[in-house]
Each structure stands twice: as structure tokens, then as C-alpha cells.
Structure 1
Amino acid sequence: MTDAYTLVKLLHILSSTILFGTGIGTAFQMLMATRDGRPEVVARVADQVVRADWWFTTPAVIVQPISGLALVHLAGYSLGETWLLASLALYAVAGAAWLPVVVIQRRLRDLAAASAQAGAPLSPAWHRLFRWWFLLGWPGFGAVIGIFALMVIRPG
């Protein structure tokens, strides 16, 4: 029989994989659609990105701290461990970047759909928001990569 720690660890690893994989996959799709430049393509991809965030990223964002805290408890670690505090701080950074991205993605979707419906190119407002979306992705992904490193290395 598998113990609770192993099951929670599996859940934690799977949800982190979903979190990172969905993020990198949707970012790639959005970048490629943007390079294509056709508002109807961008609108369709942006709609799928918004759906992926709701269906995959949001549940993973919820599962990560719950399973992480359960692992801390089951393994007997102290929440005062430097690597755990650093990982929690990085999780907050990722969340602070992700929350505005969720709002921006919905707006990008709506603006692209309006451009497609009007037969017009993507608006300057769309391009400004896209730049913010792109820029916010860097600290978000960087923080998650940092968390992965801390989970594997567990320094000091």
C-alpha cells in the first residue's frame, strides 16, 4: 500500500506539471497567434487560453499550496526553513504576475474578437495589453522555475 506522503507528493508533482505545462503551452500558442496577426486566429487562440487557465491552471494553483503544506507536515519540515520561505515568496510573485495576466487575457480575447467581427486589424490597445501580458509572463515563469529549483535542491 502506498503511504499518504507518496500520494500527496504525486499530486503535488502532477499539479506543478499542469501549472507549468499549461502556462508554457498557452504562452506559446498566444505568441504564435500574435505573430500570425489575423484577429480571428488571435481571438480563437485567446479564447482557448482563457479556457485553459480556468480548466487547468486555476485548479493547479489551488492544489499547489494545499499539497505543499501537506507535504511539509507529513515530512516533518518546519515552515521556517529558508528554502520553504523562499518558495512561498516565489509563489506569491508568480501569483502576483498571474492574476493580472488572467484579466489581460480576457480583455485580449474580447478585443481580438471585436477586431475580427469588424474586419479590422488588432487595435493599438490590444498591442499595449499584449506587451503587458508578455512582460508579466517573465516573472511568473521565472518564479515557478525558481520554486522547482528550491524543491529539488532544498538549500541550507
Structure 2
Amino acid sequence: MLYLCLKYIHIIAAVFLFGFGMGSYLYLIAASRTANPLVIAHVARMVVRFDAWITTPAGFIQVATGYGLTRLAAMPLTTEWVLTSLIIFLCVGSLWLPVLVLQKRLYVMASSAVETGAGLADDYRCVYRKWFWMGVAGFLGMFVIVLLMVTKMTPGQWADLLV
């Protein structure tokens, strides 16, 4: 029963991590495309909050429940698909703090433009591009992690199936 409860929490945390993360990402992209500092500032403020209060804790819950699941199943962390998932998760996680910092910078830049009545600073596009591409890399990693969790196979094993 404990295993099933942990698995349920693990899956719900994955839904929150992926769902809120993707939602925040897409909303900030849409807001930025308007080039309207007021819209961007409002959306970026909410994105920063949701990522700090929901998405980040979901990531920690993922790690804790994943570890608990491997212990209860007597599965070594060196099991190929688990280790591959952990490595990708750490890579995606290493993008997370910079993404949070960049989101906060986008918010501050847009808020400053609203306060001064000026347009967005020239630096906004540069910061936005970094944030955007880090998001692309992060979500590609998350797609692979979900595939690993569902199939319990590594990318090498998938390739073997295709050949």
C-alpha cells in the first residue's frame, strides 16, 4: 500500500512539475509576443510565483518519492533506466535555477518599462532568448524522463527496438 501511495504522489508531482512548468512557459511566451510591458509584467509575476510555489516543490517531491519507490522495490539506483532518468533530471534541474533568475529579470524589466512608460529595454530580447532556449532544453529532457518512467527503457534500448 505504501508503494502505491508513493507512486500516486510521484505521478501527481510529475503532472504538477510538467503541467505547471509547461503552462508557465507557454503563458510567458504568449505574453512576450505581445511586446506589451504591462501584459508581460503581469504574466511574468504570476509565472515567477507559480514556479517558486508549485513547480519547484513538485521537483523535490519527485526526487523524494522516486527514491522511496526504488527503495521499496529494492531497485538499485544504478538500474539503467533509473540512472538515466536521474542524470537527465539533474541536467534539467541545473537549468531550473537560471530559468527562475531569468524569469525574475524579465519581470523586473517589464515592470520597469511600465513604471517609466518606456518600451522594453533592448536587453529584454536577449534575456528572453536565453530563457526560451533553456526552456526548450528542459522540456525535451522532461519528455524523455516521462518516456523512461513509462517504458522503463533507456534511449539505447528504444533504438535497439527500432533496428
Q: If the TM-score is normalised by the length of the shorter chain, which range does it land in?
A: over 0.9
User: What SS does the corresponding residue of 1:122 show, helix, strand or coil?
Assistant: coil
Corresponding position of 1:126: 124
**Match among 134, 137, 153 for residue 136 of structure 1:** 134
Count residues with an aligned counterpart.
154
**Match among 103, 111, 114 for residue 112 of structure 2:** 114
Corresponding position of 1:58: 56
Q: Deviation per CA, 1:106-152, whole angstroms, max 9, x where unpaired? A: 11100100001111111111111000000100111011111101111
Gaps of 5+ in 2: 158-163
Q: What's the CA shift for 1:101?
A: 0.3
User: What SS does the corresponding residue of 2:119 show, helix, strand or coil?
Assistant: coil
User: What SS does the corresponding residue of 1:48 show, helix, strand or coil?
Assistant: helix
Q: What's the CA shift for 1:25?
A: 0.3
Provide the aligned C-alpha RMSD in A: 0.9
d(CA) in 1 for partners of 2:77, 2:52? 29
Aligned residue runs from structure 1 range 1-156, under 5 A: 3-155=1-153
Extract structure 1 runs of 4+ deviating beyond 2 A: none
8 Å contact kept, 1:115–1:122 = yes
d(CA) in 1 for partners of 2:111, 2:17? 26
Residue 65 of structure 1 aligns with an amino acid whose one-letter code is V
Gaps of 5+ in 1: none
What is the TM-score when the length of structure 1 is the normalising length?
A: 0.96
Corresponding position of 2:160: none
Percent identity of paired positions between Structure 1 and Structure 2: 38
User: What SS does the corresponding residue of 2:78 show, helix, strand or coil?
Assistant: coil
Residue 11 of structure 2 aligns with an amino acid whose one-letter code is I
